Amino acid sequence: MSLLHQESPDDIDDAARGEAFTKGSSHVVWASLIATVVVTIAIAVYVVAGEKRPVASGEIVQVWAHPRHVETSGYDANGASMAKESFDQVLIFAHVKLHNQSKVPLFLEDVLANATLGEGIVSISAGSAAQYEEVFVAYPELASLHANALSPRTTIAPGESVDGTAFWATRLTRQAWDARKSLNFTFRFQYQANLVLAPHNAVMEQ
């Protein structure tokens, strides 16, 4: 055979052809895997970067309840006679801690106590700081619960925290209150998302 003789493509061994094809395929597989990992990481970074942490954090330290049956005296504030009234009422007190973890002031607009009862969810707005003080004048037996009032119209500066007690009054029977399925509190901020907190400890009866 002449030294100048060259093998034609038809003369190449089939095993060599297969080996070359396999090597080319493995490169494609590895490239696809790397591309998939890169895309996955990019998506994860985008999602994490796009998430905003809540503007506020907080804790419900403790909740107290005072169920009571009320009977009015039959006289108004001026001493004039009026029809007597009787009803069941539950006073709710919650020791709350809130922290502004944003870079802007937070303006609290309302604090709702949400109780899930047999007929659905009952939401009650918190009383004002002045009404909070009036409760302890009207019910001196609750003096042990008196603390710094948390106003439902509180402003929290960036990075600051507030610590106080809010209260609610609702006309519920003791039976309905005791049969509740859940209890949580909604803090409504102006122009910001609500913060919902649930107590971690059992409600104490006072």
Domain that holds residue 140: 56-205
Q: Does one domain contain both 23 and 87?
A: no
| Angle (nearest 5°) at CA 106 between 102 and 112 | 120
d(CA 161, CA 173): 35
Q: Does one domain contain both 86 and 177?
A: yes
Q: Does one domain contain both 24 and 86?
A: no
Q: Does one domain contain both 28 and 68?
A: no
Q: Does one domain contain both 18 and 100?
A: no
Residue 87 falls within a domain, yes or no? yes
What is the tally of structural domains in the chain?
Answer: 2
The pLDDT averaged over each successive group of 10 residues in the chain (206 residues) is 47 52 57 59 41 87 94 68 83 98 97 94 96 94 95 97 97 94 97 96 93
Residue 132: is it exposed, middle or buried by C-beta count within 10 angstroms (0-12/13-18/19+)? buried
Q: Does one domain contain both 102 and 116?
A: yes
What per-residue confidence (pLDDT) applies to 6? 47
Q: Whole-prediction pTM value? A: 0.71
Residue 74 falls within a domain, yes or no? yes
d(CA 15, CA 130): 92
Q: Please check whether residue 93 is in contact with residue 133, taking contact to mean a CB–CB distance below 8 angstroms.
A: no
Q: Please check whether residue 96 is in contact with residue 61, taking contact to mean a CB–CB distance below 8 angstroms.
A: yes
What per-residue confidence (pLDDT) applies to 115? 97
- Chain position carrying tokens 């895997």: 33
Q: How far is CA 40 from CA 31, 46, 51, in A?
A: 14, 10, 17
Q: Does one domain contain both 84 and 151?
A: yes
CATH code for the domain of 120 = 2.60.40
Q: Please check whether residue 46 is in contact with residue 183, taking contact to mean a CB–CB distance below 8 angstroms.
A: no
Neighbouring C-beta atoms of residue 124, cutoff 10 Å: 17
Q: Does one domain contain both 45 and 146?
A: no
What per-residue confidence (pLDDT) applies to 80? 73
pLDDT digits (tens, 9 = 90+) for 110-161: 999 999 998 899 999 999 999 999 999 999 999 999 999 999 999 999 999 9
What per-residue confidence (pLDDT) applies to 124? 96
